[in-house]
Structure 1
Amino acid sequence: MARAQGARSQLAVAFETTYGTPPATGFTRLPFASSTLSAEQPLLSSELLGYGRDPLAPIKDAITADGDLTVPLDAASIGFWLKAAFGEPETTGDGPFTHTFRSGNWSLPSMAIETGMPEVPRFAMYSGVMLNQLSWTLQRSGLLTATMGLIAQGETVSPVSQAGTLADLDQARFGHFNGAVARNGTALGNVVSAQVTYSNNLDRIETIRADGMIDGADPTIAALTGQIEVRFADSTLVQQAIDGAPCSLEFAYALPSDQSLTLTAHAVYLPRPRIEISGPAGVQATFDWQAARDPVAGRMATVTLINDIEGY
């Protein structure tokens, strides 16, 4: 009997036309590093008395289908996740193509995601998948990945794939070496690490249904937050925090092939941090920043993706 191995697993993704209804075709194989996306249904212990010390049988509670996907920041595949996070992009150019994603959309697309373990075989199709949170960390070295927090309507398990023939993408993976951080259009020096989190703060619509699924997940007030850790070399960021003035922060990656990814937070506010001296080594300061809607740009964030993909 074959045993499931992560090395043989696969991930297929497609956008839905109708929430909760996976399309029959149009799935794309996407790279991923790990997945906790799954459905679970806990048991509720019986509280009934009168039958001795041994408990009566438990009953099933509500079904929850959600989890995280860890994926590479790849010039091709990241567009699927950006569309799920921000909505339909504006695409220009005739190759390379420039995809511009903007925060603030009230209407976000749903996805159908199938995780497959062919040796069991087990193919789990998750319908009505919405992206709740996207986050990644910038640092000097290591593998560059992002975490996608997902909320699904439900799970359907089959011994055969329901995704049909999969389209494949040519990978063009970004690395930490390709990253840069800018403040108000100028490179920000002395950055040790940075963390970026965009959240749609989805509201699960948990109505009473015979199938135990949710009715949907609606976006509420979005949030763009993060953390910057810098070597303390000047008072520029500290003074901005004291003044309470916003700045723009830009987190960018670029490949020699002219493919790039840039997230711009248009109005970032910094808290006043502790400046601690913890030993003889260099002094560092950590800023837990928050972004807000910029009245000039008319939005909180813009993500620009340049690649060879015509559309998502």
Structure 2
Amino acid sequence: MPRAKGVNSQLALSYESAYGLTPASPLGYNMPFNQSRLAINQNLIHSATICSRRDQLRPAIGNTDIFGSIVVPIDQVGIGFWLQAMFGTPTTTGSGGLYTHIFKGTKRQPSLVLEQQYPDIPAYEMFNGCKVSNFAFAYGGEDELTANIYLIGAKRTVSAAPFASSLTTLELLKFSNFQGSIEESGTQLAIVTEASLIADFGLNGNNYTIGGNGCRTDLPEGILQVSGSITAFFADTVLLYKAVNNTKSSLTFKFTSGAHSLQFFLEEVIFQQTSPGIESDKGIYIHLPFKAFYGTGSGGSTIVTTLVNGYASYAVV
């Protein structure tokens, strides 16, 4: 009897032309990933009907909840597809094998078809109407550099054949922790030991309608909230006083590999007040949570992400 193995599994991605609908001729991509935990939950509803016996009647079924997380490597090519799922088609410039893709917040996020493929069986678990709800990563130390992508979707279909006849395999070129840097107000910080970034896209997942077969009929976007934290040696009071005085600053999280790079620019940031504290006889650290916002920034977005690589276009075909 065959048994599904993770090593043979794949995660396929395509963009929807209309929410919840698989394109007639889908262009699918074989996405690099570390873990994929997309799942369905559908409650069984207790029946309270009395039928002159003590036996429980057949339960009804509730709405379907599609949700889950995907752990992906922060790389030079595949990350662009996830950025497009968050921010829409980027502005792209360049030629001759070096391209700059700029992603900014938009009014509407694209929806995705995502398929967890188990070819050993074979079984193909397709999720429609998926949108990125949260995106988060942390760096510092020597662990593999990954991002957590949390998704909400509309419906699931299981079949014996994939939704796309063939998948485009992407070149895997990973960034590492050692290629990371962080700037505060344009100056590189050499005292930061850890940093994290979280983008919450404010999706409203409560859109179940009569006649919708218990599936979400839409996933409208709310306010984009960007936050995170940095942990640094407590070597001076510069960052501490910026938090004390609510001084507006900026942060740049960047990974660089030769001519290729990935940069998250938060043009307007306020640090939250905290105290360094004295936890031991060793060196003291300061942990500073922050929130990004948009007020007067020239970038026109709470977060501006710039990806420079050899991939020519992320435009949806």
Secondary structure of the residue that 1:290 maps to in structure 2?
strand
Displacement, 1:221? 0.6
Which one of the candidate residues 230, 251, 254 is aligned to 1:252? 254
Displacement, 1:51? 5.0
**Structure 1, residues 67-107: CA drift from partner, whole Å, max 9, x if none?**
1111110100000000111112000011211000012x102
Secondary structure of the residue that 2:63 maps to in structure 1?
coil
- Paired residues of 2:183 and 2:251 also in contact (CA < 8 A): yes
Displacement, 1:168? 1.2
Per the alignment, residue 9 of structure 2 pairs with 9
Secondary structure of the residue that 1:109 maps to in structure 2?
coil
**Structure 1, residues 178-217: CA drift from partner, whole Å, max 9, x if none?**
1001101111121111110011111122222342111111
CA RMSD of aligned residues (A): 1.4
Question: Using the alignment, how far apart are the partners of 1:58 and 1:269 within structure 2?
Answer: 51
Which one of the candidate residues 228, 232, 235 is aligned to 1:233? 235
- Paired residues of 2:126 and 2:163 also in contact (CA < 8 A): yes
Displacement, 1:292? 0.5
Alignment of 1:168-247 (within 5 A): 168-204=169-205, 205-247=207-249
Tell me: CA distance 1:202–1:74, structure 2 relative to 1, closer, same or farther (3 Å): same
Question: Using the alignment, how far apart are the partners of 2:15 and 2:223 within structure 1?
Answer: 23
- Paired residues of 2:13 and 2:31 also in contact (CA < 8 A): yes
- Paired residues of 2:62 and 2:214 also in contact (CA < 8 A): no
Per the alignment, residue 81 of structure 1 pairs with 82
**Structure 1, residues 5-48: CA drift from partner, whole Å, max 9, x if none?**
11111011111112212222311111111111122212123345
Secondary structure of the residue that 2:202 maps to in structure 1?
coil
Length-normalised TM-score, structure 1: 0.95
Secondary structure of the residue that 2:81 maps to in structure 1?
helix
Letter in 1 for 2:20: G
Secondary structure of the residue that 1:85 maps to in structure 2?
helix
Secondary structure of the residue that 1:220 maps to in structure 2?
coil
Letter in 1 for 2:122: P
- Paired residues of 2:268 and 2:297 also in contact (CA < 8 A): no
Question: Using the alignment, how far apart are the partners of 2:246 and 2:306 within structure 1?
Answer: 28
Question: Using the alignment, how far apart are the partners of 1:155 and 1:61 within structure 2?
Answer: 14
- Paired residues of 1:266 and 1:294 also in contact (CA < 8 A): no
Per the alignment, residue 138 of structure 1 pairs with 139
Which one of the candidate residues 95, 98, 101 is aligned to 1:99? 101
Secondary structure of the residue that 1:238 maps to in structure 2?
helix
Per the alignment, residue 28 of structure 1 pairs with 29
- Paired residues of 1:191 and 1:230 also in contact (CA < 8 A): yes
Question: Using the alignment, how far apart are the partners of 1:277 and 1:50 within structure 2?
Answer: 68
Displacement, 1:57? 3.4
Deviates more, 1:70-79 or 1:112-121: 112-121
Gap runs ≥5 in structure 1: none
- Paired residues of 2:154 and 2:215 also in contact (CA < 8 A): yes
Displacement, 1:59? 2.2
Aligned-residue sequence identity (percent) comes to 31
Length-normalised TM-score, structure 2: 0.94
Secondary structure of the residue that 1:57 maps to in structure 2?
coil
Secondary structure of the residue that 2:86 maps to in structure 1?
helix
Per the alignment, residue 284 of structure 1 pairs with 285
Question: Using the alignment, how far apart are the partners of 1:153 and 1:177 within structure 2?
Answer: 39
Tell me: CA distance 1:51–1:142, structure 2 relative to 1, closer, same or farther (3 Å): farther
Q: How many residues align structurally?
A: 310
Per the alignment, residue 155 of structure 2 pairs with 154
Question: Using the alignment, how far apart are the partners of 2:4 and 2:30 within structure 1?
Answer: 19
